[in-house]
Structure formats: C-alpha cells, structure tokens
C-alpha cells in the first residue's frame, strides 16, 4: 500500500523506545488522543499481530490481509478521538479490523462478479444469458438485509454490558475456548459461559427485528455477520 502510515512489516522492530512501551493501553490511548503520535505507534506494535490475525482469518490471503490490517489501523488512528473507553481498546480495534476485512471481502466479491459478468457477455454477443447472470448477483434487497443485520449486530454488541460484550467477542469472533477467555478476562469459566449465553440471547432478540429467526432458527439463511453466533 503506497504511502502507508504504518509499516506492518517493521512495526515490531525497535523504534519507539522508552517508557511508552511500558504504559497501559488506557494511558497510551490518552496520550495518543492528546497528539502523541509515538504513543499510537506503541499501540500499533502492541496490537498489530492481532489485527493481522483477524483480517487473515477472513481474507485467507496474506497480501489482502495486510492491506486490510493497514486500513484498520488507519481507521483506528483517524477515529481515536471518538474512542471513549466503553470497551477495552483491543475490543474496539478488533471490531475495526473485522469491518476492514468485511469491506475487503465485499470489494473482492464485487470485482469477481464484474469479471464473471463481463466474461459471460463476451461469450454471448447477443446478451443471452446476461440477464440470468445478473439475477444470480446480489440484489439490492439482499445487500440491504446484510447491512441491516450488520448494523443490528453492532448495535446489540454496543448495548451489552462491557463484560458480556468482551466475552462474546472473544468467543464468537476470536474463536477462543471458554477456558482461554476465563484466563484472558481473569474470571471463572462458569462466569464466561453465563455471559456468552446471555449475550447470545440478547443479540438473538435484537436480530429478530431485522432477520427472521434471529440467530438462525428461522427460514432465512444465516447472514455472514452472524454465522458464528
């Protein structure tokens, strides 16, 4: 990516030394919001591997994942002023990484659809078959439903108590086992299971407003944004 603000390949090498590296995320965020660029560099080095792991999980292609991770870090840098600490910085950054990966997937899908349609039309000069191909592409209604579902999931996550939100994100988006979440959050595994269950129930209720069957017990296929819940 040309003129990238953050170099993912070299971000882990020594460069921003000193006391900043020992500061907590909360303090680094505070300093970054006050204009300390090196404090944000520390956050990048600390969390870049996780961001890249998230984008790679979605995109399955190293180059695309690195570009999406770069976009996520840029989005975090530009949006840092709006971060109010309602969730932890890693959780906030994780959601940005997922959105960047989903945007990259959507762009990839649209590009593939255009190529497929152009190929079909070139093979059928009279245009026969092009209409059928168009019908197979995502319709505005499908895209609208996907956007509604994504917005509903994001709204539901924001409405959850912080502990429940972090547990469900670590379980369903990071794919951690219950015991790993218990260690990460320093809470009993029974508490993790309870929070994940209650978070799923809450998200299910919210999704029923926009998607038949909530988390998938209805007749419509489960949208990509909620397949893991």
Average pLDDT on 172-201 reads 87
Of 70, 147, 59, the residue nearest 107 (C-alpha): 59
Average pLDDT on 158-183 reads 84
Average pLDDT on 49-58 reads 88
* 9 pLDDT higher than 50: no
Average pLDDT for the chain:
74
CATH of domain 138-229: 1.10.10.10
Give the integer Cα–Cα distance in Å for 40 and 24.
Answer: 12
Contacts of 212 (CB under 8 A, 6+ apart): 218, 219, 220
The answer to whether 175 and 184 are in contact (CB under 8 A) is no
Domain boundaries of the chain, sorted by first residue = 1-107, 138-229
* 97 pLDDT higher than 60: yes
Residue pLDDT, tens place only, 104-121: 887 776 665 444 444 544
User: How many Å separate Cα 104 from the centre of its chain?
Assistant: 11
The CATH fold of domain 1-107: Rna Polymerase Sigma Factor; Chain: A (1.10.1740)
The answer to whether 20 and 64 are in contact (CB under 8 A) is no
Half-sphere exposure of 55 (CA within 13 A, CB side): 27
């Amino acid at each position: 990516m040309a003129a990238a603000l953050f170099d993912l390949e070299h971000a882990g090498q020594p460069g921003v030394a000193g006391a900043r590296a020992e500061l907590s995320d909360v303090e680094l965020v505070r300093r970054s919001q006050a204009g300390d660029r090196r404090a944000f560099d520390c956050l990048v080095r600390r969390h870049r591997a996780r961001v890249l792991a998230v984008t790679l999980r979605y995109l399955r292609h190293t180059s695309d994942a690195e570009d999406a991770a770069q976009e996520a870090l840029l989005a975090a840098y530009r949006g840092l002023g709006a971060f109010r600490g309602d969730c932890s910085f890693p959780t906030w950054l994780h959601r940005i990484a997922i959105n960047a990966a989903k945007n990259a997937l959507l762009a990839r899908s649209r590009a593939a659809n255009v190529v497929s349609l152009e190929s079909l039309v070139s093979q059928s000069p009279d245009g026969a078959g092009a209409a059928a191909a168009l019908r197979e592409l995502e319709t505005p209604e499908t895209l609208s439903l996907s956007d509604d579902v994504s917005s509903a999931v994001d709204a539901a996550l924001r409405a959850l108590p912080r502990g429940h939100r972090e547990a469900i994100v670590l379980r369903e988006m990071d794919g951690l086992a219950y015991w790993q979440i218990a260690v990460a959050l320093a809470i009993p595994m029974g508490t993790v299971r309870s929070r994940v269950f209650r978070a799923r129930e809450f998200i299910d209720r919210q999704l029923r407003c926009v998607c038949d069957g909530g988390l998938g017990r209805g007749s419509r296929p489960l949208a990509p944004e909620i397949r893991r819940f």
